Amino acid sequence: MACVELKKINKTFGNIEIIQSVDLRVEDGEFVVFVGPSGCGKSTLLRLIAGLEEPTAGDIEIAGEVVTDLSPKERGVGMVFQSYALYPHMSVYENIAFGLKLDKANKGKVREWVEKTAEILQLTSLLQRKPRELSGGQRQRVAIGRAMAREPQIMLFDEPLSNLDASLRVQMRTEIAKLHDRLQSTMIYVTHDQVEAMTLADKIVVLNGGHIEQIGTPFELYETPASLFVAGFIGSPKMNLIPAIVKATSPGKSVDVEICGMGTVTVERDASHMDDGTEMTVGLRPEHTRLSLSGPDSGLEVVNVEYLGNEAYVYLEMPGMNELVVVRESVPCQIRAGQRVTLNADPERLHVFDADGHSLPRVGLRKEEDSVQQIASH
């Protein structure tokens, strides 16, 4: 149990900068998820914390001590690898006990710890098996067991579920969440799967191109993405990002935005740094919109309707946009392809980004918190 602090961490391979000046603090007992597209440096960041890679610059602190030059063992970390990396010639018992034995713990103690770990992970009946006799989920549990047997201060997970099939992944996700509740240890988890990130994390770190885009709770990332990248990355189906133009600003209060295909909307955002006529982007989640049928000459054309059973996705063609706009509708959905519809959205629910992709600060912050609370308790 310990907090982790990264200070101005840099990592370059040759001429390529993988991690650019990352500052991050992970609190004691927190479950933090690094998420981002492939190649964003999330695994490298995890390996830096593990001690499997050395930072080019910067310091890593664990529990207030600088550990940059220490080995993984001295740092007190346990790690679960994507490919499990179990020792194939050892039984489950020996796999879990390997690190303990190297610690020169006495035999009785090793047995006690292994059995305790096995019990937590429901591996007791499998202790004498070899890894090749186990299923994917069981192997993954052994890998977790091996990482936690030495009771590390920090547990690191490198995309642990990506080799499992979909149903097993959901099951293991729940088990990892339960494990965290039970152990209360600091966990850092890398994934490219945003569902895993949203469901497991106390705090999500969104990485992009080697720098941190945003740090926040799943709720914060979903409700108030700080940048276009986060807005597009978190949420499924993706947030619709629609080009817009600033019409008129009243600094510190609100801004009138002409949204392509939706007309002019007033949003309570501070756009004082933007001139009238500037291009910007408005983000609109598929679930925060309403559709109403319009006349044959107005509105947007419905290109496709996907029926998913519990909901339906309506795809609209927006003039001036390459991508289709996605709208979530409840079922039964009356809208058919070929019809024309009007797109309505609550201005409160709009996300507004300037030309650099930064979110415009909200004005009615207190109001926002109220509604946040409401939704949270929902």
Partner 1 sequence: MNRKRLRKLVGKTGFGLLLSAIMLFTVFPFYYAILTSFKSGSELFKVDYWITTFNLENYQSVLGQSSFVSSIWNSILVSTSAVAIAMGFGLTAAYALGRVHFRGRGTVLMIVLGVSMFPQVAVLSGLFEVIRAFDLYNDPLSLVFSYTIFTLPFTVWVLTTFMRQLPKELEEAAIVDGASPVVTLFKVFIPLMGPAMATTGLLAFIAAWNEFLFALTFTLTDDQRTVPVAIALITGGSQHELPWGHLMAASVVVTVPLVVLVLIFQRRIVSGLTAGAVKG
Does position 98 interact with partner 1 (CB under 8 A)? The reply is yes
Residue closer to partner 1, measured from CB, 95 or 240: 95
Structure tokens at 251: 């600094």
State in angstroms the smallest separation of the CB of 27 from partner 1.
23
Q: Which residues pair with 370 in a beta bridge?
A: none
**Total residues contacting partner 1 (rule CB under 8 A)?**
32
What is the arrangement of strands in the sheet containing 279-284, beginning at the earlier edge strand? 263-267, 254-259, 240-250, 279-284, 351-353
Which of 50, 148, 316, 343 forms a contact with partner 1 (CB under 8 A)? 50
Which of 299, 215, 244 shows the shortest CA–CA distance to 35? 215
Does position 134 interact with partner 1 (CB under 8 A)? The reply is yes
How far apart, in whole angstroms, are the C-alpha atoms of residue 286 and residue 343? 11
Residue closer to partner 1, measured from CB, 159 or 329: 159
How far apart, in whole angstroms, are the C-alpha atoms of residue 27 and residue 184? 12
Which of 54, 133, 165, 348 forms a contact with partner 1 (CB under 8 A)? 133
Which of 75, 72, 117, 122 shows the shortest CA–CA distance to 97? 117
Does position 88 interact with partner 1 (CB under 8 A)? The reply is yes
Residue 57 makes CB contacts below 8 A (sequence gap 6+) with: 8, 9, 10
Residue closer to partner 1, measured from CB, 39 or 72: 72
List, as one string, the DSSP characters of 296-326.
TTSSEEEEEEEE-SSEEEEEEE-TT-SSPEE
Residue closer to partner 1, measured from CB, 101 or 290: 101
Does position 163 interact with partner 1 (CB under 8 A)? The reply is yes
Window contacting partner 1 (CB under 8 A); options: 134-142, 243-251, 255-263, 306-314: 134-142
Window contacting partner 1 (CB under 8 A); options: 128-136, 169-177, 189-197, 299-307: 128-136
Which of 32, 27, 36 shows the shortest CA–CA distance to 61? 27
Q: How far is CA 212 from CA 241, 251, 284, in A?
A: 21, 29, 23
Contact 288, 349 (CB under 8 A): yes
Does position 136 interact with partner 1 (CB under 8 A)? The reply is yes
How far apart, in whole angstroms, are the C-alpha atoms of residue 334 and residue 340? 12
Does position 105 interact with partner 1 (CB under 8 A)? The reply is no
Does position 103 interact with partner 1 (CB under 8 A)? The reply is yes
Q: How far is CA 292 from CA 70, 123, 295, 310, 314, in A?
A: 62, 55, 10, 20, 12
Does position 55 interact with partner 1 (CB under 8 A)? The reply is no
Q: How far is CA 184 from CA 110, 119, 293, in A?
A: 22, 17, 52
Residue closer to partner 1, measured from CB, 131 or 261: 131
Residue closer to partner 1, measured from CB, 79 or 215: 79
Window contacting partner 1 (CB under 8 A); options: 98-106, 183-191, 219-227, 281-289: 98-106
State in angstroms the smallest separation of the CB of 109 from partner 1.
16
Does position 170 interact with partner 1 (CB under 8 A)? The reply is no
State in angstroms the smallest separation of the CB of 82 from partner 1.
8
Window contacting partner 1 (CB under 8 A); options: 97-105, 248-256, 299-307, 325-333: 97-105
| Contacts with partner 1, 67-86, as mask; x by CB under 8 A | ----xxx---xxx-xxxxxx
Residue 369 is given by DSSP the state H
Q: Which residues of the shown chain bind partner 1 in the complex (CB under 8 A)?
A: 50, 52, 71-73, 77-79, 81-89, 98-99, 102-103, 130-134, 136, 139, 146-147, 150, 163
